[in-house]
Structure 1
Amino acid sequence: MKITIILVLALTGLNFTGINAQNKILFVTSNQEFYGNTNIPAANHFQEIIVPYDAFIKAGYEVDFISPKGGAISLGYMNISDSLQKKYLYNGWFMNKLEHTMKPTEIIADNYLAIFYSGGGAAMFGVAEDITIQKIAGKIYNKNGVIAAICHGTAGIAYLKNENGNSLYAGKKITGYPDIFENKDAEYYKAFPFSIDKEISKNKGNFKYSEKAGDGFYIVDGRFVTGQDPSSALKVSNEVIAILKTNFKNTNPAVKSDLAQITEILLDYIEGTANGQPERLQKAFHPDFNLYTVAKDTLWIRSGKEYIANIKVGKKNNRIGNIIAIDIENDAAIAKAEIVIPNQRTFTDYFLILKYQNTWKIVHKSYSWRELPKNEKI
Structure 2
Amino acid sequence: MPQPKVVFVLTSHNQLGNTGKPSGWYLPELVHPYEILAPYVQIVIASPNGGEAPLDPGSVDASKDDAQSQNFFINKSALWKNTQTLSSLLGHANEFEAIFFVGGHGPMFDLATNKIAHNLVNEFYDNNKIIAAVCHGPAALVNVRLGSGLSLLDGQRVTGISNSEEEIEQVTSFMPFKLENELNRVSGGKYEKGSEWEENVVVARGERLITGQNPASAAGVGKAIYEAIFGELKSKRDL
Same fold (TM over 0.5): yes
Counterpart position of 1:189: 172
Counterpart position of 2:66: 82
Question: Which residues of structure 1 form unaligned runs of 5+?
Answer: 1-18, 248-378
Q: Distance in 2 between matches of 1:57 and 1:33?
A: 26
Q: Letter of the aligned partner of 1:26 in structure 2?
A: V
Counterpart position of 2:129: 145
Q: Distance in 2 between matches of 1:149 and 1:84?
A: 20
Q: Letter of the aligned partner of 1:73 in structure 2?
A: A
Counterpart position of 2:32: 51
What SS is found at the alignment partner of 1:44?
coil
Q: Letter of the aligned partner of 1:173 in structure 2?
A: R
Matched, 1:128 2:108: no
Q: Letter of the aligned partner of 2:17 in structure 1?
A: G
Matched, 1:163 2:147: yes
Residue 73 (structure 1) aligned to one of 36, 53, 75: 53
RMSD: 2.1
Residue 227 (structure 1) aligned to one of 200, 208, 212: 212
Residue 37 of structure 1, CA deviation:
1.4
Q: Distance in 1 between matches of 2:69 and 2:231?
A: 30
TM-score where L is the length of structure 2:
0.86
Change (3 A) 1:185 1:144: closer
**Is the CA contact (8 Å cut-off) linking 2:51 and 2:81 kept in structure 1?**
yes
Question: Which residues of structure 2 form unaligned runs of 5+?
Answer: 233-239
Residue 97 of structure 1, CA deviation:
2.0
Q: Distance in 1 between matches of 2:192 and 2:148?
A: 26
Q: Distance in 1 between matches of 2:94 and 2:107?
A: 24
Name the larger-Rg structure. 1
Higher-RCO chain (CA-CA 8 Å, sequence separation at least 6)? 2
- 1:87-102 pair list within 5 angstroms: 87-91=71-75, 94-102=76-84
- 1:96-115 pair list within 5 angstroms: 96-107=78-89, 108-115=92-99
**Is the CA contact (8 Å cut-off) linking 2:164 and 2:196 kept in structure 1?**
no
Counterpart position of 1:236: 221
Counterpart position of 1:309: none
Counterpart position of 2:199: 216
Residue 118 of structure 1, CA deviation:
0.7
**Is the CA contact (8 Å cut-off) linking 1:67 and 1:127 kept in structure 2?**
no
TM-score where L is the length of structure 1:
0.56
